[in-house]
Structure 1
Amino acid sequence: MEQKASNQGQQYSISRCMEVLHGMDDVSDEIKVLASDVLKDASSREFFLCYESRLRGLWLKKEVAKLGTQLPP
């Protein structure tokens, strides 16, 4: 049981999210940097990684917009 929890933690880790994020060409560098605030939360990381790759950018942009952070022009 403990091994399963450990594997799940690794599956949705910050490192795994960052690896996926680095490969996303449809997301600006600004969004990628702000994503670190969104992906601090374990449930957000799980949502991010469970979305189809074509939808991740859209979801991430929505979550970053909720932060209320002004993006540079």
Structure 2
Amino acid sequence: MGTAFPTGMSASALPGARWRKSRRSNPDGSCVEIAVLENGDVAVRNSRFPDGPVLVYTPAEVEAFLLGVKDGEFDHLLR
């Protein structure tokens, strides 16, 4: 594993990050964007504030979350 990236750092501190957002993002720009970092961690930011703070998660944390989404554990948030 490479360098550790702390949660809360500015997205501008990740100049090589390749940010992506869902095709389902709304046209107002209210989106969450993600970037896989050089050490394998995943950074998350608000697209409305591209230079704002990022949250950084390990691959295991992202996997646990995505599996929960796929299992419907967060469906109550859509109601």
- The structure with the largest strand share of the pair is 2
Q: Same fold (TM over 0.5)?
A: no
TM-score by length of 1: 0.30
| TM-score, normalising length: structure 2 | 0.28
| Greater relative contact order structure (CA < 8 Å, 6+ sep) | 1
